[in-house]
Amino acid sequence: MQKLTVELGEQRSYPIYIGAGLLSNQSYFFPYIHGHQVCIVTNETIAPLYLDAIRSLLADKYQVDVVVLPDGEQYKQLDTVTQIYDCLLENKHNRTTTLIALGGGVVGDMTGFAAATYQRGVNFIQIPTTLLAQVDSSVGGKTGVNHPLGKNMIGAFHQPRAVIIDTDVLQTLPARELSAGVAEIIKYGLISDQTFYDWLEINVVSLMSLEQAVLVEAILKSCQNKADVVSADEREGGIRAILNFGHTFGHAIEAAQGYGNWLHGEAVATGMLVALDLSARMGWVDNSEVTRLKSLLDKSNLPVTVPVDMSNQQFLDIMAVDKKVLSGKLRLILLKSIGDAIVTEEASVVKITESIAACR
């Protein structure tokens, strides 16, 4: 088992546990549940696999209630979160309750948002069951839901009390979901860790095969990179924005194609390729790096072209309502070099559209 800490001061720092078989061990749960009430939030896909194990682990000591949500990005909306509030109110959960998010990023984001807003804030624990959630959305305290006009536009910053990453759950993860998670792992190498990026090129086949040592190392390095950024900038006032590398283009793809038709990691993968191409057009990285990334995405079974039915104007229209727009200017995360990301407003519409076209 590996452990690292997201450093946010004495009261709000929290651990991330990474290893096999963690979900059968009470010691990873009990220290982070402070009241006598627990609400496990999961979805229809994950519930048959892991719900009984978690519930039986806690049932002797706590009042345990359960919410099983529909599965899919298209359900990441306020109406779905209301089901969590209904359960909490109907079962008289108070301010000492602890919510447990058992699922992928959609479950984690909605559970975290419910925890942030129920009685103005209660504790929650993240148990991410997809690789993407394990290396990205479960860490950092971003919670929220989608709006038809933009992804994650309604939300709150609310840190978990602990993140419990059991690598055994990845054995039941569909191959497409696994690849989506690898996209976020690649992102960390691109934005802040060139050595890790080089390592990924060598080990990507082993990672895709879920070799335990490689898998744990990839998750650990990803979480450490994210924890370092979150510790420095919890509420995205500055450097934390680099974690959105590829996401502005990726979110546009998700919004245009319909949430869930492209997985988040798939859209981010293509978005990163567009962003790297744009970085090359700005004269900051060599064109060979675009080819290099495309090869790595190919090996990870990720898409490397934008949707054929999305026009350049459609990209620009959707990106105009992105959260990174400030004072009417679109801020993009681009690379000065591999491992060195920046936030910039310098990219022209002409260059942006050229990079979108180059990735068709």
Residues forming the active site = 120, 142, 184, 226, 236, 240, 244, 247, 251, 264
The Cα-based distances of 345 to 324, 331, 348 in angstroms read: 10, 5, 8
What number of other Cβ atoms are within 10 A of residue 46's Cβ? Answer: 21
| Side-chain-facing half-sphere of 93: CA atoms under 13 Å | 30
Q: Which two tokens stand for residue 89?
A: 């109110």
Considering only CA atoms, which of 72, 52, 61, 46 is closest in space to residue 98?
61
Is residue 155 a contact partner of residue 165, using CB atoms and an 8 Å limit? no
Q: How far apart are CA 128 and CA 97, in angstroms?
A: 20
DSSP state of 74: G
CB-based contacts of 20, cutoff 8 Å, min separation 6: 166, 167, 168, 212
98-123: string of b/e by CB count within 10 Å (b at 16+)? bbbbbbbbbbbbbbbbbbbbbeeebb
Alpha helix stretches (DSSP H) within the chain: 52-58, 78-90, 105-117, 131-132, 175-192, 194-208, 212-232, 247-257, 264-281, 287-299, 312-319, 349-358
In this structure, are residues 91 and 65 in contact, taking their beta carbons and an 8 Å threshold?
yes
**What phi and psi values does residue 324 have, to the nearest 5 degrees?**
-90, 0
